[in-house]
Structure 1
Amino acid sequence: MIDKNVLKKNFSRNAVNYDTYAVIQKKMAHQLLKTISFEHKDTHDSINILDIGCGTGYFTEQLARCYPNANITAVDIAPGMIEYARKKLRSKKIEFLCADIEEVEINRKYDLIVSNATFQWFNQLEQTIIKLDAMLKNSGMLAFSTFGPMTFNELHRSYKMAADKLNLVIDSLPGQKFFSCEDLLNICQRSLADTSFSYKVAGLEKYEYEYFDTVRDFLKSVKKIGANNSNCDRKTIPALIKEMIKIYETTFTEGNRIKVTYHCIFLTVEKRKTDPV
């Protein structure tokens, strides 16, 4: 379970650092834009777009460039992120809303609902997909990117190895738990089963890698974008962390730098009205 209050504080206080350290999230943003095969809508049409988890507005700005006549609503849970994005994109036709998409009610229909690297922070994923579907127009599309279970694989393996070495029983990992692509496809299909619409659901997986001089540099980079552990059951055991770092730097290095894996997942859900029999 994600502690949303901790999440807000982490991202708000690190808004100024985000664009510098969010290297993988930027790559995901560009891939997500490629994934949106919105062929039935001309890029110059005045469509309505909802951007969930807009952060500093990096992906929002790409959307505004791709769809110059679009009416964009950009939502983020962190006040600091919204303030930063609003200042950066003040010349764009964008409406900013500071809110938790899982809680807020938006009485509007959208042609396109998108989200880059945000769905991993949801506590009620199925219910939220149902909610977003209700906000989609009959021929709309939901497209999002998120992280898969191999993300931070080296960190999690080092943590487990350290716990075993110290004879510690652990019931949580130092980072988020992520759904697989298959899990997400099933969740989408299950969430949308009881409607009068048909859906084309597709998934894409990619791996990205970063390299750091030390594990502490890697953990600092995660903290600098506000993405450090926001689980309600998060625990810190200094001896375990020290041993984990030692194992990580011994076991998972390439060219004298430690390796970090990012498992990136992209999903699209195209909505169509079912023809009457």
Structure 2
Amino acid sequence: MKWDKQVVSRRFSDKADTYDQYATVQKQMAHQLVDHLRSTQPAPARILEIGCGTGYLTKLMLESFPHAAYTAIDLAEGMITESRGRFESEAWRCTFICADAEEWVQKQVAGSYDLIVSSACFQWFVHPDTTMGHLQRLLTQEGRLAFTTFGPRTFHELHTAFQQAHRNLSQTEHHHGIPFLSLADWQSLIQAEEGRQILVAQSGEQTQYFGTVKDFLYSVKQVGANHVQTDSPARGLGERRILQEMMRCYDARFRTIEGIPATYETILIVTG
């Protein structure tokens, strides 16, 4: 399944001012990533961040590696504008670029960075196999690639509810949202690159609870990560019907005394 990157860019740009308020799990992923990197020796002199968003991970990295030259890239212009404003005092060592990372990395010089980092971004790659190859090409011989992303168990409650809703309405089932690669998938992509080894490979689950299914969907929308498919057959009234039935199925099957659960599978990988 493919998705329209212009739509992705616009959605995230529009939510640059609300992203941090709702991106609770994404913030936790950023802290987890930095915790695994603070002891990196020697300290990296040149760092590249893919998908910097509003700069939450950027701030943690700049504090952890105060002498590094830092380059941050993001597809969404609104996010880049937010980050540039946030780090005006760091402009002497921090460069922000608005571009499609998958295209941008193909044009960069090999061995340009000691460390490449990314948090909650790689799931948006349309060509993860070739992009991972280019990212590792940009590393120095002793360089590291470290990233977090979401795994296929993410929002499994939502997908189960949609499947049941399609059956209830006698509709052909189809996947809603973007497909996520598994930990094993990412490991396979990395191991295809000669000379690189995986130092850390972890997956885990975090669950958030909401008052209603609508509250959960609203939180996803407020970070810009809502519906981006270009091939969904549901439109207009049909889309509203399936959405309403999905919410009824979600509530009936998954509600607990804590509320409506939404599970995130998080993946952390560090290569050397």
TM-score by length of 2: 0.92
For 1:96 and 1:235, the matched residues in 2 are separated by 37
Change (3 A) 1:198 1:224: closer
- Aligned residue type for 1:110: Y
Structure 1 match to 2:263: 261
Describe the superposition over 1:123-166 as per-residue Cα deviations: whole angstroms up to 9, x where unpaired. 11010011111110010000111000000010000000111111
Q: Is the Cα–Cα contact under 8 Å of residues 196 and 271 in structure 2 kept in the other structure?
A: no
Which residue identity is paired with 1:27?
A: Q
- CA root-mean-square deviation: 1.4
State the aligned residue count: 262
| Contact kept? 1:189, 1:201, Cα under 8 Å | no
Question: Which segments of 5 or more consecutive residues in structure 1 lack a partner in the other structure?
Answer: 271-277
1:72 is matched with: 70
Contact between 2:167 and 2:173, CA under 8 Å: does it hold in 1? Answer: no
Q: What's the CA shift string for 1:164-200, capped at 9, x where partnerless?
A: 11111123x222210111111112112x04xxx2423
**Which structure 2 residues correspond to residues 1-277 of structure 1 after superposition, within 5 A?**
1-36=2-37, 39-42=40-43, 47-92=45-90, 93-104=93-104, 105-107=107-109, 109-171=112-174, 173-190=175-192, 192-193=193-194, 197-236=195-234, 237-255=239-257, 257-270=259-272
The one-letter code of the counterpart of 2:40 is E
Which whole-Å deviations, capped at 9, do the CAs of 1:243-265 have from their partners, x for residues lacking one?
11001111111215100000000
Superposed CA deviations along residues 203-259 of structure 1, whole A, max 9, x for unmatched, are: 101211111111111111111111112222134322111111001111111215100
Q: CA deviation at 1:201?
A: 4.8
Uncovered stretches (5+) of structure 2, i.e. residues with no partner: none
Q: Which runs of 4+ in 1 moved over 4 A?
A: none
Structure 2 CA distance, aligned partners of 1:256 and 1:166? 29
For 2:202 and 2:58, the matched residues in 1 are separated by 21
Moved more, 54-63 or 83-92: 83-92
CA separation of 1:161/1:54 partners in 2, compared to 1, >3 Å: closer, same or farther?
A: same
Are 2:84 and 2:96, in contact at CA under 8 Å, matched by a contact in 1? yes
Q: Tell me which amino acid in the other structure corresponds to 1:206.
A: G
In 2 relative to 1, CA 135–81 (structure 1 residues): closer, same or farther, beyond 3 Å?
same
State how far apart, in whole Å, the 1-side matches of 2:269 and 2:96 are. 24
Letter in 1 for 2:103: E
Give the 3 Å change call, closer, same or farther, for CA 200–154 of structure 1 in structure 2: closer
Please give the secondary structure, in 2, of the residue aligned with 1:36.
coil
* Shift in CA distance, 64/140, structure 1 to aligned 2, threshold 3 Å: same
Higher mean C-alpha displacement, 214-223 vs 101-110:
101-110
Deviation at 1:35, TM superposition (A): 2.5
1:21-54 alpha-carbon deviations (Å, 9 max, x no partner): 1000000000111223653223xx6x10000000
CA contact (8 A) 2:38 2:64 kept: no
| TM-score normalised by L of structure 1 | 0.91
